[in-house]
Amino acid sequence: MPADPPGDAPTRFHASMAGYAPTPLVAARGVAEALGVADVLVKDESARLDMPSFKILGASWATRCALVAHAEVPESRVGTFADLRRLAERLKPLTLAAATDGNHGRAVARMARLLGFDARIYVPAGTADARIAAIAAEGADVTVVEGGYDDAVRRSAGDASERCLVISDTSWDGYEDVPRRVIAGYETIFAEIDDAVGGGGLPPPDVVAVPIGVGALAAAVAAHYLADTASFRPLLVGVEPTSAACVLESVRAGEIRSLTEPQHSIMAGLNCATPSIVAWPLVSTAYDAYVSVDDDRVPDAMRLLAADGIVAGETGAAGLAGLLRLVETPPDAEHPLLDEHSCVLLLVTEGATDPESYKRIVGRALRV
């Protein structure tokens, strides 16, 4: 791929997309009371560029970078979404492929639709019908793969060719550039948070709770807050489902490990068996705590967020579910990560991507 563009390039690119606006950073007072902390700030990614999750940020920037590399044009020629559409016209016909538990695949399918490409999206068996339907509604060809997320990843990888670009948010040997650009695309989230904290009178967070999955978002968090230019360095808490804690298992082993048992958490976006190799160096060293959480803690987290006016799907509520467990069973009672002075940042990464499940858990239907 061409040399990396400037660090603020993803944010400028996203700002050029139709419908772009920073997502809210809101105070959740009921959640703060439940955690026993001073403040909770929620970065609400339930509506981002007309999508129900943050994933469009990584998918759009990675697609832009993959097309620049595929066409062998200078980075400087594709700074805006309008530039990208002009480039895409030259490259047709082309297909974008991806594996997903829901949100990333839908975002890739959306990018294909916006650029006039085809899309092939692979999902693991057991993916909720509502998530499959949402991907198909973007015009994508959706294939259900027997097995888990890793099986879907392998299937999508086999599609790579001159006429099909794989836009994956996880990586494997020989495939690292695109997932690295996905991570870079998420920087927009944290640029917006810094703007809100710096200009909005909000306190800077001293603890950040992050749902992990394969580690792309977790790596973006670490890269931002460990950068030399960071204005503050909060404690980082990574959260995974107990049945899909591939990063925690790998950290314990001191190397990347793949889980052998099936991953069937209701936190569907985190049902991953293997950490991304490009995320691993940051995710394995930058975090102050790793928390695994059972599914039975998630409904309480969703309902707490709903009481503060925040619609969070199961994956979106994972960070709060992990902190609720951390408060209940702190690893070091003498030096807790959270206390009555803490300001916590929660990344609510998705809205109610399965509306029927949300209604069952929260007790009311979504207002639309």
Where are the chain's structural domains?
11-53+186-362, 55-183
Q: Indicate the pairing of strand 95-99 with strand 164-166.
A: parallel
Unique residue bearing structure tokens 């990347």: 256
For 331-346, write each residue's pLDDT tens digit: 776 678 899 999 999 9
CA distance 352 to 327: 26
For 97-140, write each residue's pLDDT tens digit: 999 988 999 999 999 999 999 999 999 999 999 999 999 999 99
Query: Quick one: pLDDT band at residue 229, thresholds 50, 70, 90?
Result: confident
Given 43, 44, 55, 206, the catalytic residue: 55
- The answer, yes or no, to whether residue 282 has pLDDT greater than 90, is yes
Query: Quick one: pLDDT band at residue 278, thresholds 50, 70, 90?
Result: very high
- Say if 11-53+186-362 and 55-183 have the same CATH topology: yes
pTM above 0.85, yes or no: yes
Q: Which of 1-15, 44-58, 227-241 has the highest mean pLDDT?
A: 44-58
Nearest to 64 by CA among 81, 89, 49: 81
In this structure, are residues 41 and 202 in contact, taking their beta carbons and an 8 Å threshold?
Answer: yes
Question: Average pLDDT for residues 25-47, to the nearest whole number?
Answer: 96
Question: Average pLDDT for residues 150-173, to the nearest whole number?
Answer: 96
Given 39, 44, 101, 118, the catalytic residue: 101
- The answer, yes or no, to whether residue 230 has pLDDT greater than 90, is no
Confidence at residue 299, expressed as pLDDT on a 0 to 100 scale: 96
Confidence at residue 4, expressed as pLDDT on a 0 to 100 scale: 61
Unique residue bearing structure tokens 């929260």: 362
Active-site annotation holds for 354? no
Tokens (6 digits) for 128: 């909720």
CATH fold for domain 55-183: Rossmann fold (3.40.50)
In this structure, are residues 356 and 225 in contact, taking their beta carbons and an 8 Å threshold?
Answer: no
Confidence at residue 368, expressed as pLDDT on a 0 to 100 scale: 31
Work out whether the CA dihedral 230, 35, 299, 362 comes out positive or negative.
negative
- The answer, yes or no, to whether residue 260 has pLDDT greater than 80, is yes
CATH fold for domain 11-53+186-362: Rossmann fold (3.40.50)
Active-site annotation holds for 55? yes
Q: Which of 75-84, 129-138, 217-226, 335-344 has the lowest mean pLDDT?
A: 335-344
Confidence at residue 15, expressed as pLDDT on a 0 to 100 scale: 97
- The answer, yes or no, to whether residue 3 has pLDDT greater than 60, is no
For 164-204, write each residue's pLDDT tens digit: 999 999 999 999 999 999 999 999 999 999 999 987 778 89
Angle at 289 between CA 352 and CA 27, to 5 degrees: 45
Question: What stretches of the chain show up as alpha helix (H) in DSSP?
Answer: 9-15, 29-35, 55-71, 81-91, 103-115, 129-136, 149-157, 177-185, 187-199, 216-225, 246-253, 280-283, 298-307, 318-328, 355-362
